[in-house]
Amino acid sequence: MRWHGGMIRTGAPRTFRLCALLLALLAGVGTGCARTPGEIAEKVAYDFGIGERPEGYVSGSDRVMESLTQVAEVEMKRMNMAQRHGEVKFQDEGGLRGSYYKEVKTYESFYPLDVRAVSKSVDGDRGFIGYIEYTYRIYQSERKANRTEAAAASANIATPETGRDTFRYRFSSGGTWDGRPGELTRQ
């Protein structure tokens, strides 16, 4: 021990202790895995984009891509339930005449598009962002004399109007969906 500027310093320099700690951690990780050093090297090389995919290796983005179908099924039901009341609109027939009808957007199918790794999100966590595209059709009700009747009517007449919406979903670094509704990114 020696006295140095109001502090007592002991033993090895700080960098030596940090290196020893790092080596101990790496040795613990290496021996804790049931893989050979060659398999670990292959996985690391693939993760950095310089090697081939090892047999049986599943990346985080692959896990998220597989779960997008389940997320889309849940979300499509939720969005259709939220849209079931629709919007009452007025169809002008000239002069003071016209009729009311209900219009509802109904999502009919989906397609998982893409998964991207996020190094830092708004919440400060790492994870993934998944994109799902939904196709929809607009349905209308029969024409009614007033707004109240149109709001109570069922919108079951399919129109030729269709479209696509793309939603963004957040996943943890382990590939688990956070359960929040998707964010509309493109119509």
Kindly report, residue by residue over 4-58, the tens digit of the pLDDT: 555 555 555 566 566 555 555 555 554 445 466 666 666 666 566 566 666 665 6
Of the spans 63-72, 101-110, 175-184, which averages the highest pLDDT? 101-110
- Position 79 in a domain: yes
pLDDT for the residue 131: 93
pLDDT for the residue 92: 82
- Position 74 in a domain: yes
- Position 53 in a domain: no
96 confidence band (pLDDT: 50, 70, 90)? confident
pLDDT for the residue 17: 60
Closest CA to 173 of 101, 141, 125, 132: 125
pLDDT for the residue 6: 53
Helix, strand, or coil here: 93? coil
- Position 70 in a domain: yes
Residues 81 and 24 placed together within one structural domain of the fold = no
What the block records as the tokens of 90 is 């007025």
Whole-model pTM above 0.75? no
Average pLDDT over all residues of the chain: 78
Residues 67 and 120 placed together within one structural domain of the fold = yes
What the block records as the tokens of 107 is 């999502």
What residues are paired with 115 via a beta bridge? 130
Which has more pLDDT, 13 or 178? 178
Residues 69 and 11 placed together within one structural domain of the fold = no
pLDDT for the residue 120: 63
Closest CA to 108 of 137, 78, 148, 66: 137
Q: Containing H/E element for 73?
A: helix 60-83
- DSSP secondary structure string, 99-111? EEEEEEEEEEEEE
Residues 171 and 83 placed together within one structural domain of the fold = yes
- Position 25 in a domain: yes
Number of domains into which the chain is organized: 2
Residues 33 and 103 placed together within one structural domain of the fold = no
pLDDT for the residue 186: 67
Q: Residue 6's domain spans which residues?
A: 2-47
pLDDT for the residue 65: 79
Closest CA to 145 of 187, 93, 69: 93
Residues 77 and 162 placed together within one structural domain of the fold = yes
Which whole number is the average pLDDT over 95-117?
89
pLDDT of 63 > 60? The answer is yes
Residues 66 and 156 placed together within one structural domain of the fold = yes
What the block records as the tokens of 39 is 């398999």
